[in-house]
Amino acid sequence: MKVRKYFLLFVVLSLGFNGYIYGQANKNFEISKSIDVYNSLFKELNLNYVEEIDPGKLNETAINAMLQELDPYTVFVPESQIEDMRMMTTGEYGGIGSLIQQMGEFVIISEPYEGFPAQKAGLIPGDIILEINDMNAVNKTSSEISELLKGVPGSEVRLKIRRTGSDQPMDVKLTREKIKLDNIPYSTVLDNSIGYILLTGFTQKAAAEFKDIFVKMEADHQLRGLIIDLRGNGGGLLNEAVDIANLFVNKNELIVSTKGKSPDRTSVHRTRFAPVDLTIPIVVLVNEGSASASEILAGSLQDLDRAVIVGQKTFGKGLVQNVVPLSYNTQLKITVAKYYIPSGRCIQAIDYSHKMENGGKIPDSLVSTFKTKAGRTVFDNGGIMPDITIEPLEFSPVSAHLYTSNLFFKYANKFAFEHKEIAPVSEFDITDEMYDDFMKFVAEQGFTYTTESEKMIAELKKQAGEESYLPDVSAQLDALEQQLRLIKQQDILKHREEIERILRSEIASRYYYQKGKIITALRQDEEIEKAVEVIMNQSRYRQVLSGK
């Protein structure tokens, strides 16, 4: 009887193994067949197509089309973009140190980084790039201009620019430097002894930088709490997120695990060091732009009941990518695993293998519940759901159109040209005189925009005309349209508070650069106010973490 059992087990295992071998062999045959068909097709195109083809461009198009069938994070990296890939992990590149933006047929300097070549050479926001090393820069895209501005640190780049208010173009020589993007562009201790750290990236050494800043804060102040701001942080290196979490939880604590198709893609990441502070109250700020490593940090601190999460639901990227070298100095960034935070949940929002069904989103009926370390209920419904949700700040249509029309940007340039200095950034405000000047500037620029209400009236007129009702309702619709137009003329006054908020930040950046923009934005920040309120109310803080 035992012999028969073992024989049956052997048969089952053998069938399974043979099935696996057959499946792999069949898949390998399909790959070989597809490559052969592709090679044949490419050869025939090259020999017979009526026009000359660009083999490299066609090949890259074919590769990208194939990868589009997968997820948006699995991408082919040609040799020309290797430096960009390196910058994503190190936060470093060789260049002039400035943000640029497209404006019509030109690319302009939009924000020089303080202390780097663009700023030291005197470039200012609004400068139009006409030439780079004698090459015409007009009608080129911002990505094309970015590639031309980058280069080996120490190399020279010559720009010809046109500046508002100057009749003649200017020649500017710059020496490229190694540009390091800060993981932490700003940190401070608020008036109520609460530390604030703005973390915008997880490149190499992010955790070490975070630790240095936090340790110094604790040494210099009697901290009552800490706010970690991850809003808009799109992520980066997984190990940096683990090591930042490590500062606040015990050694050997599970932070994240990854599970892939093969055993070598499955791993467990635990804290490796003794913590720095196990008791300080922590609030983590998140929004829909917080993704990947940001979600690992926020989600692990939530699952371990170590921080209160405040803001909006995060992006929902629970996929892990590796960079694989390919031939001819190209690379493939490929999704190799999903990650799971301490409660066991994966926060991936979209199932790309079923993206044709409901956009790949997980239906509410399939959302699973999990438990934090203290027993609170959390969900795997695509992203980290905050413990305290705050509605996102939404600007009015007039503010949005002023922004997209670049009128805040242009006015700030005009203001900086006319005013050599302003008050310290913490004291700078928009006066009535400034606001009147801004409204005058907007009017001179011929600013106009169409509201959704006006679009609906236009559509209603069109529909009424098609149904022969227009003669009967035309007068009423015209009157309504005129009334809306009159109301709209008051929008810049009606929404002054939010317009001032944007304008103050834009003007401050002309004098105090990126740090000035951050400081002015923090002066009216409802989410920081809520974070401070939670930390100062310790019973409320403990209540949230206990789930009661």
Q: Is 171 helix (H, G, I), strand (E, B) or coil?
A: strand
Q: How many residues does the chain have?
A: 548
- Write the CB contacts of 138 (distance below 8 Å, at least 6 apart in sequence): 105, 106, 130
Can you tell me the distance from the alpha carbon of 278 to that of 221, in angstroms, rounded to the nearest whole number? 17
Q: Which helix (H) or strand (E) holds 242?
A: helix 238-246
Residue type, 363: P
| DSSP assignment of 459-512 | HHHHHHHHTT-HHHHHHHHHHHHHHHHHHHTTHHHHTHHHHHHHHHHHHHHHHH
Which tokens in the block code for residue 211? 């630790």
d(CA 380, CA 367): 6
407-435 residues labelled b (16+ CB within 10 A) or e (exposed): bbbbbbbbbbeeeeebeebeebebeeebb
Helix (H) or strand (E) holding 156: strand 156-162
How far is CA 376 from each of CA 242, 307, 367, rounded to the nearest angstrom? 22, 13, 16
Residue 177 to residues 93, 149, 161, 180, 487, Cα–Cα distance (Å)? 8, 11, 20, 9, 52
The amino acid occupying position 294 is S
Q: What is the DSSP letter of 264?
A: G
State phi, psi for 77 to the nearest 5 degrees: -115, 105
Cα–Cα distance between 157 and 136 in angstroms, integer? 14
Query: Using CB atoms within 10 A of its CB, is residue 225 exposed (0-12), middle (13-18) or buried (19+)?
Result: buried
**Could you tell me if 156 and 166 are in contact, meaning their C-beta atoms sit under 8 angstroms apart?**
no
Contact predicate 428/504, CB 8 Å: yes
The DSSP output letter for 272 is -
C-alpha to C-alpha distance for 309 and 432, rounded to whole angstroms: 38
Pick the catalytic residue from 127, 303, 387, 491.
303
How many angstroms separate the Cα of 283 from the Cα of each of 334, 528, 529?
A: 33, 9, 11
Per the annotation, the verdict on 429 as an active-site residue is no
Establish whether 303 is a catalytic residue: yes
Q: How far is CA 6 from CA 2, 12, 111, 285, 543, in A?
A: 6, 10, 73, 59, 58
Of these residues, 98, 292, 294, 399, which one is catalytic?
A: 292
> Taking the CB of residue 344, how many other CB atoms lie within 10 A of it?
14
Alpha carbon 421 to chain centroid distance? 32
Structure tokens at 506: 């834009």
Q: Is 292 in the active site?
A: yes
Among 317, 410, 488, 517, which one carries the catalytic annotation? 317
Catalytic residues: 292, 303, 317
